[in-house]
Structure 1
Amino acid sequence: MHGNPMPDSYVYVTEEGVTRHYADGSVEALAWEDVVEVRVVTETDSDVLYVLLDREGEGCVVPRSATDATFLARLRYLPDFDLDRLTLASDARHAGVVVVWRSPDPPSALPDLEYD
């Protein structure tokens, strides 16, 4: 019996965030409230990745093949997110990385430290 091969990962988009489960059991997850940067990585014409990052540089990589209207609609809730910029970067014909959005909020201030 021949079935469909098991995909290498599954991506879940919810109101809370994005989670990617890999076939090896590893998981990447990021809450929407923690997203501070969105990048588009193009490797070939058909291989496009969306990279969501938090302040520590940790994040979740979402292949374009795993995106749907829910993912794109949720990105639009990020402050001043430009969907046209995302589309242009995704349709690029050359390999590269484009930052399509950064949080307009400055990083949180470091706590006041007392020195001797």
Structure 2
Amino acid sequence: MVTIAAMHGNSVPNSYVYVTEEGVARHHADGSVDALAWEDVVEVRVVGDTDSDILYILLDRGGQGCVVPRSATDTAFVARLRYLPDFDVDRLSAAVDAVPDDDVVVWRSPEPPPSFPDFEYD
């Protein structure tokens, strides 16, 4: 497990990010937690933050996810992203360097979403 703290100039970190083999979790100063298992990640986005930071947004099929500030990451986070199928680190780097105002999708799961159940109509 890797623990990364985002300090933003404060003596008390405003969030912690835990990266494990199972997933990623961001613990906020207010006690709330955003967490996502790696096996549930279907999309990775990058967006510029108002605090001049970059945010990595990891989403699951339901649109729930974990927002991770770049300032709260280290090489372990990016190294773990590389295990996602067909993840393109160059695309990630280009998006980070561009500091986008809007979300930029840098990766989507190559697996199709589960099919809808068969409905019978009268």
One fold, TM greater than 0.5?
yes
**Correspondence 1:86 to 2:96:** no
Count of aligned pairs between the two proteins: 113
* Aligned with residue 72 of structure 2, among 47, 61, 66: 66
Q: Is the 8 A contact 1:19 1:28 kept in 2?
A: yes
Residue matched to 1:35: 41
Q: Secondary structure at the match of 1:96?
A: coil
CA RMSD of aligned residues (A): 1.6
Q: Is the 8 A contact 1:12 1:18 kept in 2?
A: yes
CA distance in 1, matches of 2:20, 2:88: 20
Q: Is the 8 A contact 1:45 1:92 kept in 2?
A: no
Runs (4 or more) in structure 1 with deviation over 4 Å come to none
TM-score (norm 1): 0.90
Equivalence map 1:19-34=2 (5 Å) = 19-34=25-40
Q: Is the 8 A contact 1:45 1:94 kept in 2?
A: no
TM-score (norm 2): 0.85
Q: Quick check: 11-20 or 86-95, which moved more? A: 86-95
| Compared CA separation, residues 93 and 103, structure 1 to 2 (3 A) | closer
Unaligned runs of 5+ in 1: none
